[in-house]
Amino acid sequence: SALTQPASVSGSPGQSLTISCTGTSGDIGASNFISWFQHYPGRAPRLIIYDVTARPSGVSFRFSGSKSGYTASLTISALQAEDEAVYYCTSYSTSNSVVFGGGTKLTVL
Amino acid sequence: QVQLVESGGGVVQPGRSLRLSCAASGFSFNKYAMHWVRQAPGKGLEWVAVVSFDGSDKYYADSVKGRFSISRDNSENRSYLQMNSLRGEDTAVYYCTRGVIITLSPEIDFWGQGALVTVSS
């Protein structure tokens, strides 16, 4: 089953915002292999967080990840207009698969 | 630089087969797991399958298990997705993506441009 994300979130420039990703004991609860992707329409998705909290080279420090229990979270600080995109979480699953969240559309007001 | 180029997409009738190919360059192909991820029109991303760095382990999403087969040729730096018994719900853009040495880690750092597969009569 897919991980559960809010369909949409919004915030104003300069604000901080958190996107949640809820799973089960068979995926997020059992794994530190959790990633987040940023996806602009018409472009390939971009990895912005891996292993729950790690940031790939070149990704802004404004993006941070965390996990508590069965919920992973992506926090974006000092929101900018360019952050408007769809964000996906994903996790290793103990059913020997990888599961994605349904995606969250971030709107910068 | 890392490049992943998919080919083999197109229009196919329900029940028929199609094989996608992914040509990789710019990195040591035999050191990375390779995933296929798809996105149906108007929908989110869906993980499809992964093959380990050496081809010995393969895992699939339940939605394609028994119909799709992933493979790789490390001598040719290519990954493949054989899709059989195709259904309308398989219509999607299919992305070839690069993982890491740990096969089922979702640390996917490079994506191809995508290949459109349309299943329609």
Chain A residue nearest residue B51, CA to CA: A97
Residue of chain B nearest A104, judged by CA positions: B44
Say yes or no to pLDDT of B74 above 80. yes
- How far is the C-alpha of A6 from the C-alpha of A18, rounded, in Å? 10
| Residue B102 confidence (pLDDT) above 90 | no
Mean pLDDT for chain B overall: 96
Mutate to test the interface with A, among B51, B103, B110, B111 (most CBs of A within 10 A): B111
Query: Cα torsion for B74, B20, B104, B32, to the nearest 10°?
Result: 30
Percent of residues, chain B, with pLDDT higher than 70: 100
The DSSP string of chain A is -PBB--SEEEE-TT--EEEEEE--TTTGGG-S-EEEEEE-TTS--EEEEBTTTB--TT--TTEEEEEETTEEEEEE-S--GGG-EEEEEEEEETTTEEEEB--EEEEE-
| β-strands A85-93, A104-108 pairing | antiparallel
Q: How far is CA A93 from CA A9, A60, A62, B74, B75, in A?
A: 26, 28, 28, 27, 30
**CB distance from A62 to chain B under 8 Å?**
no
Provide the pLDDT confidence category of residue B104 given band limits of 50, 70 and 90: confident
pLDDT at A1: 61
Per-residue pLDDT of A36-93, as tens digits, reads: 999 998 899 999 999 999 999 999 999 999 999 999 999 999 999 999 999 999 999 9
Phi, psi of B35 (to 5 degrees): -110, 155
What is the mean predicted confidence (pLDDT) over B35-43?
Answer: 96
> How much is the CA Rg of chain A, to the nearest whole Å?
13
CB contact under 8 A, B104 and A96: yes
